[in-house]
Amino acid sequence: MVGAWVIVGLLVSVAYPFLRDGTPVAAVFYNSFTVATLGAIVAGVRRNRPVQRVGWYVFAGAVGLRLCGDVTYEIYRQVLHLSPFPSLADAFYLGAFPLLVAGTLLVARGRLGRDWAGILDAAIISGGLSLVWWVFVIAPMAADASSPLLQRVIGAAYPALDLLLIALVAQLVIRSGRLTVSLGLLTVGMVALLVSDVLFQFMPTFAPEFEGVVAVGWLISNTMWGAAALDRSSRAPAPQPELQARGTTATLGRTRLALLAACTLLVPAVLFVQGLMIGPGKLNWLAIGVGAVVLFLLVLARTAGFVAQVQRQAGQLEELALCDALTGLPNRRVFEERLAGSVAAGNAQVAILDLDGFKDVNDRLGHAVGDRLLAVVAKRLAGALREDDLVARMGGDEFAVLLGAGSPGAMTGIVERLAAALRKPVEAGGHELLIGASIGSADGAGTRDAGEVLRRADIAMYAAKAAGGGRHRGYSDDLDARAGEQAKLGAEIRAALDLGQFRVVYQPIVSLPDGRIVSVEALVRWEHPERGLISPAEFIPVAEQNGLIVELGAWILRTACSQAVVWRNEFGEAGPQRMSVNVSARQLAEPGFTALVAEVLAWTGLAAHQLIVEVTETAVFGGGLAVQAVKDLHELGVKIALDDFGTGHSSLGLLQTVPVDILKVDKSFVDTITMAGRHAVIATALIQVSSGLGLMAVAEGVETAEQAAELYRLGYRLAQGYHFGRPVAEPDFLGTRVAVG
Ligand code: C2E
Ligand code: CA
Ligand code: CA
């Protein structure tokens, strides 16, 4: 429809000059098309129901007034054979200008919003052009003493009003962001109108025989305006300046700069040309002077705006560089700068806070939830601090706090507040997450180095984490020594693996009361060439921290399972029926752990139900990958034992979410069992829980016959401890048994 209208309109425009201007046929042809244009605009508004409907009707009013002017003009010329100037026709024509401007402004309202750079650019361009127009067209016309005043005023009014249109078109074209198709057509129509208006000023003087050609521009402008209303894009409001903020006016593009420079240079150009044409004595000095001042001020304003904008952007850049994007907290750079100040002033107090189990949340629930969690934590930490404290995100799930000056010794209180702030569960991605944190703190005692203070807080934080997480440690010198030792030990474990310095020993688990060995627990030993036997309690935590437990654990699993098969073949019924292997959280969280177990079982030929995997409550309490691994193992047929039961979280809920077959009741409950008083209460409760849930209970660390007898009396049927046998390379499966009397 729009296409058809444009084609018809262009054909009409091209055909018009072939009709003889001033004949009735030409007049009817010309004015019919204006009527059709009016129809097109009204039809377009009806069809597209644009937001700026009023604007379009005002615009149609302008076209209507021009039509009235044309018709009046033709009546004077063809019917009355008069050509008065000024006449009623001029009133219509001139009246159409304000409506054109108002209509355009309304239709393009969004586009002409508060984009000051664009407004100034357009003003500079139209200012330069206006000067030329004024000096060469309007001023001579107004000054032509040969015609009466009214004629002069009306005659000059046309080019003057055209100036208004130039300013408007400059606004439409120069403003940032793309024009909609409809606004583009409107602008093209306006340009066509302007071109014809300008030609009309000169035609009678220079080429009167081509007067018909001038009308082509007006016909084209009608075509474009009709098309602008008909096009569907008229429906949408003009793009808002906010959306165009990153458009072209914000920056001073090369083309724009050249355009602005050219328009400013029009002042000396006019001076020069006029000087050449009419001689230096008759220069229109007033117009040129005013034009120069106005343009100068406009350019000045534009430059000021540009400078302000550059400054604003520089500010934003700086903010970006200093601010962590995810949490909005200051970043490491800011923190280190402030810390350097505090260290120099001798009042640095720093805490480093690292979330426990954050990696697990990320792995299990995805990064979006992890990010959300970090954002909430950041907010809570910031909320828990005082006005002059600083909290920053150092990267990952690590935050740092710098206490404000003038609060010496406030660290414990602050740490307590930070921990309290994290105790409430965090809502993230539809999950209720309970997140703990390990906190390490240090002050600047005895150092002038900010990096050293951070390092100390870091070491204290790692010590807090190694101690099980969810706690606070202050820095002390012995932490340093231990950290050094741990680093050394970590490197040695690597070497020990390659050199084959690890052994596995086996401790019997016996049935009560007969003392028969039903299974064994594999326990690792390190035969260090210089230091002798090193306890797993010493090196397993280190191997867990540096990840070597994964490789070491796989080796232990393989060794223990093949040993079980050896004994099964050697002793049959008389040998241990099951092999218990300790597995740490880090191993469980390793993707493919279940696959590894399945592979080892297949490789050794041990049946899945003959393997027991011992996990601690803490390892599976956080849920996540560890729990999934335990479930997969159970699915495989492997038995699951909950180690050190009663010392960790001891949540009975855990027994519902994690498939458990065996509870290993911790030694601490066994130790006190024979004492008088209420000491047996927990051991009693635990055996009741396990029998109630259909689980087997193993009493750990049984050292005396009395303990064994009391445990049996309470209902325990499985036990382990030095009383029955120490962990050794080859337990005596056939020897005499210690039975409970
Ligand atoms: P656990 O799993 O609770 O192992 C039982 C620990 O108690 C063993 O210490 C064992 O020698 C000791 N024990 C057994 N009966 C008695 C007793 O009657 N009295 C006393 N005082 N102690 C007794 P061990 O072998 O030093 O192991 C310590 C911990 O190291 C283990 O605690 C386990 O958590 C870890 N661990 C040992 N071997 C491995 C392993 O192969 N892999 C993993 N991931 N952890 C291991
Ligand atoms: Ca164990
Ligand atoms: Ca244990």
Q: Which helix (H) or strand (E) holds 327?
A: none
How does DSSP classify residue 283?
-
Mean pLDDT per 10-residue segment, the chain (741 residues): 91 87 85 94 91 89 94 90 85 92 84 71 83 81 77 82 82 73 89 86 68 85 93 74 42 74 84 78 78 86 82 77 84 90 90 88 84 93 90 92 81 90 84 86 89 91 83 89 81 89 96 94 94 91 88 96 96 94 92 94 96 89 81 96 80 81 93 82 89 93 95 95 95 79 59
Question: Measured between alpha carbons, how far is 252 from 306 in angstroms, rounded to an integer?
Answer: 8
pLDDT confidence of residue 155: 80
- For the chain, report the end-to-end CA distance as a whole number of angstroms: 106
Q: Is the CB of 610 within 6 Å of ligand 1?
A: no
Residues 6+ apart with CB under 8 A from 230: 1, 2, 5, 40, 43, 44, 47, 48
3-state secondary structure of 579: strand
- The DSSP secondary-structure symbol of 79 reads I
pLDDT at 237: 67
CA 481/CA 497 separation, integer angstroms: 24
Indicate if ligand 1 lies below 6 Å from the C-beta of 324.
no
Cis bond upstream, residue 513 (ω within 30): yes
Q: Is 534 helix (H, G, I), strand (E, B) or coil?
A: strand
Nearest to 123 by CA among 295, 253, 306: 295
**524 Cβ below 6 A of ligand 1:** yes
- What is the sign of the dihedral through the CA atoms of 129, 132, 135 and 141? negative
Write the residue with the smallest CA distance to atom 46 of ligand 1: 582
Closest ligand 1 atom to the C-alpha of 720? 15
Distance (Å) from CA 568 to ligand 3 centroid: 25
Helix axes 181-206, 211-230, angle to 10 degrees: 170
| Closest atom, ligand 1, to C-alpha of 556 | 41
Q: Which atom of ligand 1 is nearest to the CA of 504?
A: 41
pTM for this one? 0.51
H/E element, 613: strand 611-616
DSSP 442-455: EE-TT---HHHHHH
CA distances, 7 to each of 223, 230, 449, 533 (Å): 9, 13, 79, 98
The verdict on whether omega for the bond into residue 408 sits within 30 degrees of 0, i.e. cis, is no
Nearest CA to ligand 1 atom 13: 701
N residues, the chain: 741
Ligand nearest to C-alpha 720: 1
**Could you tell me which of 526, 502, 521, 511 has the C-alpha nearest to residue 564?**
521
Atom 3 in ligand 1: residue holding the nearest Cα: 644
Please tell me the distance between residue 20's alpha carbon and the centre of ligand 1 in angstroms: 113
Distance of alpha carbon 373 from alpha carbon 358, whole angstroms: 9
From 523, 647, 669, mutation site for ligand 1 pocket: most ligand atoms within 8 A of C-beta:
523
Token pair of 305 as six digits: 């705006």
Which ligand 1 atom minimizes the distance to the CA of 505? 25
CA-to-CA distance for 550 and 596, rounded, in angstroms? Answer: 11
Cis peptide bond N-terminal to 86, omega within 30 = yes
Q: How far apart are CA 378 and CA 371, in angstroms?
A: 11
The whole-angstrom separation of Cα 499 and Cα 28 is 108
Ligand 1 and 237: CB distance under 6 A: no
Q: What share of the chain is helix, strand, coil (3-state, %, to 5)?
A: 65, 10, 25
What is the whole-number distance in angstroms between the Cα of residue 614 and the centre of ligand 2? 6
Nearest to 669 by CA among 739, 721, 726: 721
Nearest residue (by CA) to ligand 1, atom 21, is 701
Handedness of CA 419, 420, 422, 424 (dihedral sign): positive
The amino acid sitting at 630 is V
Cα 313 to chain centroid distance, Å, stands at 20
**Atom from ligand 1 closest to the CA of residue 700:** 15
Ligand 1 centroid to residue 731 C-alpha, Å? 16
Kindly state the tokens that stand for 96.
């159409």
Query: For residues 166 and 138, is the Cβ–Cβ distance under 8 A?
Result: no
Q: Are 544 and 586 in contact (CB under 8 A)?
A: yes
Dist. CA 88–CA 65, nearest whole Å: 11
The reported pLDDT for the residue numbered 42 is 93
Report which DSSP code applies to 137.
I
Between CA 624 and CA 175 the distance in angstroms is 55
Q: Burial-class residue 254 by CB neighbours within 10 Å (0-12, 13-18, 19+).
A: exposed
Cβ of 726 less than 6 Å from ligand 1: no
Ligand 1 pocket: which of 521, 545, 580, 582 to mutate (most atoms within 8 A of CB):
582
Cα–ligand 3 centroid distance for 607 (angstroms): 24
Please work out whether the CB of residue 644 comes within 6 Å of at least one atom of ligand 1: yes
The protein residue whose alpha carbon is closest to atom 42 in ligand 1 is: 582
E runs forming strands in 415-559: 426-428, 431-433, 437-443, 472-474, 502-511, 517-528, 532-534
**Tokens 């699993």 correspond to what residue?**
557
Select from 635, 605, 604 the least CA-distant residue to 613. 635
For residue 559, the CA-to-ligand 3 centroid distance in Å is: 20
Q: Is the CB of 520 under 6 A from ligand 1?
A: no
Regarding the beta carbon of 541 and ligand 1, being less than 6 Å apart is answered no
Q: Coil, strand or helix: which one is 549?
A: helix
Ligand 2: centre distance to CA 581 (Å) = 7
Q: How far apart are CA 491 and CA 540, in angstroms?
A: 13
The helix (H) or strand (E) run that includes residue 303 is helix 285-322
User: What span, in angstroms and rounded, lies between the C-alpha atoms of 22 and 639?
Assistant: 107
Which ligand lies nearest to the CA atom of residue 647 in the structure? Answer: 3
